[in-house]
């Protein structure tokens, strides 16, 4: 069957699908010798599940045997290992620049002056793991993966945050930093990479807050039946950015003021005297 490495998409599944010592044959229908597609899709990421289900299964039910997949005859040879290694070295330069780019993106996400909640959401979105209908459907938590806002397409992170017509309206608002931006991205990471390489930090901050607002609006619709229009949502995001800025500036200002006034007003007590500081509050109710 060849050598493949796949990652379990979420080890903490809401429904226990397999035992921890399960083997590959538990993903295959015994008699028909076909993949148990629903089970594979529930356990692995979408693209990996597709890849697994495309692996042909022998209908003869022959015993497993070790095959060296890098040579035509399936037998190990030093020559094939040498050429495989050479190919890896050739591609290494490209891979290194990719991983450098990813590292820069992550560093910037954590350095953004947005709130912790915004950063956490962004991290989830970039990893493709927010509880969208698409992700919940794969884990058999909901029975369909359609977007609850437009009811037209599969609700992936890319869809809800960028492609959904309701999100397009928000991104097209007059003061949007990404108004008239290109729309054809493969996944949400590609969208963010583009923002990251073309926009300055302040605009990225607005966009990160906007993304979190879009997700909260989606949740408000699903759980409370409420929905905010594009201008209201855009204004909310801008207010969120301002509030964070103020919150970050205020402590520094008030700290400075307090230190200054203390320096002016406070005097050490005279010898044999002691200063006692007290505080009191009154509840008038
Ligand atoms: Zn939609």
Distance, in Å, from the CA atom of 183 to the CA atom of 95, rounded to the nearest integer, reads: 26
Q: Say what the pLDDT of residue 215 is.
A: 96
Contacts 24+ apart (CB under 8 A), 65-74: 67/2, 69/2, 69/3
Residue 53 C-alpha to ligand 1 middle, in angstroms? 28
Question: Residue 271 carries which DSSP code?
Answer: T
Token pair in block for residue 118: 């915004």
Residue 271 C-alpha to ligand 1 middle, in angstroms? 74
Q: Say what the pLDDT of residue 14 is.
A: 43
Indicate whether 134 pLDDT > 90: yes
Residue 228 C-alpha to ligand 1 middle, in angstroms? 14
Q: Say what the pLDDT of residue 268 is.
A: 67
Residue 148 C-alpha to ligand 1 middle, in angstroms? 7
Q: Say what the pLDDT of residue 261 is.
A: 47
The pLDDT > 70 percentage for the chain reads 74
**CA-only gyration radius of the chain, Å:** 28
Residue 40 C-alpha to ligand 1 middle, in angstroms? 26
Residue 168 C-alpha to ligand 1 middle, in angstroms? 10
Q: Say what the pLDDT of residue 224 is.
A: 94
Q: 131 or 5: whose pLDDT is higher? A: 131
Q: Say what the pLDDT of residue 52 is.
A: 87
| 8 A C-beta contact, residue 29 and residue 36 | yes
| 8 A C-beta contact, residue 118 and residue 208 | yes
Overall residue count recorded for the chain in this entry:
285
Calculate mean pLDDT across residues 86-102.
64
Domain boundaries along the sequence of the chain: 1-72, 98-246
Residue 211 C-alpha to ligand 1 middle, in angstroms? 14
Residue 259 C-alpha to ligand 1 middle, in angstroms? 52
Residue 55 C-alpha to ligand 1 middle, in angstroms? 32
In whole numbers, what is the pLDDT of the chain averaged over residues?
Answer: 79
Token pair in block for residue 7: 């990652």
Q: Say what the pLDDT of residue 1 is.
A: 47
Residue 82 C-alpha to ligand 1 middle, in angstroms? 49
Question: Residue 285 carries which DSSP code?
Answer: -
The CA-to-CA distance between both ends of the chain, in Å, stands at 76
Residues 162-199: pLDDT tens digits? Answer: 999 999 999 999 889 998 898 889 999 999 999 988 99
Calculate mean pLDDT across residues 10-34.
72
The region of weakest confidence among 105-114, 116-125, 206-215, 258-267 is: 258-267
Q: Say what the pLDDT of residue 217 is.
A: 95
Residue 191 C-alpha to ligand 1 middle, in angstroms? 17
Neighbour tally for 105: CB within 10 Å: 16
Residue 179 C-alpha to ligand 1 middle, in angstroms? 19
The pLDDT > 90 percentage for the chain reads 29
Indicate whether 258 pLDDT > 70: no
Q: For the whole model, what pTM was predicted?
A: 0.56
Residue 274 C-alpha to ligand 1 middle, in angstroms? 68
Calculate mean pLDDT across residues 241-245.
83
Residue 186 C-alpha to ligand 1 middle, in angstroms? 16
Residue 133 C-alpha to ligand 1 middle, in angstroms? 11
């Amino acid at each position: 069957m060849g050598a493949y490495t796949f990652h379990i998409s979420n080890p903490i599944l809401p429904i226990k699908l397999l035992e921890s010592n399960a083997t590959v044959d538990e993903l295959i229908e015994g008699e028909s010798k076909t993949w148990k597609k629903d089970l594979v899709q529930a356990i692995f990421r979408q693209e990996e599940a597709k890849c697994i289900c495309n692996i042909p299964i022998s209908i003869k039910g022959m015993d497993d045997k070790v095959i060296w997949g890098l040579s035509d005859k399936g037998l190990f040879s030093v020559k094939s290992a040498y050429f495989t290694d050479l190919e890896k070295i050739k591609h290494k330069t490209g891979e290194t620049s990719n991983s450098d780019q990813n590292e820069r993106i992550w560093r910037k996400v954590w350095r953004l002056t947005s709130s912790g909640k915004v950063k956490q959401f962004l991290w989830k979105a970039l990893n493709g793991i927010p509880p969208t209908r698409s992700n919940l459907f794969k884990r058999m938590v909901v029975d369909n993966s359609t977007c609850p806002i437009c009811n037209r397409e599969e609700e992936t992170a890319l869809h809800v945050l960028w492609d959904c017509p309701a999100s397009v309206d928000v991104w097209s608002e007059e003061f949007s930093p990404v108004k008239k931006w290109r729309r054809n991205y493969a996944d949400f990471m590609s969208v963010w990479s583009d923002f990251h390489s073309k926009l300055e930090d302040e605009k990225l901050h607005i966009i990160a807050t906007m993304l979190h607002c879009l997700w909260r609006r989606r949740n408000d619709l699903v759980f409370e039946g409420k929905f905010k229009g594009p201008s209201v949502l855009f204004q909310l995001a801008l207010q969120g950015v301002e509030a964070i800025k103020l919150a970050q500036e205020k402590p520094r200002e008030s700290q400075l003021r307090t230190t200054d006034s203390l320096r002016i007003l406070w005097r050490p007590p005279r010898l044999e005297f002691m200063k006692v500081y007290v505080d009191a509050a009154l509840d008038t109710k």
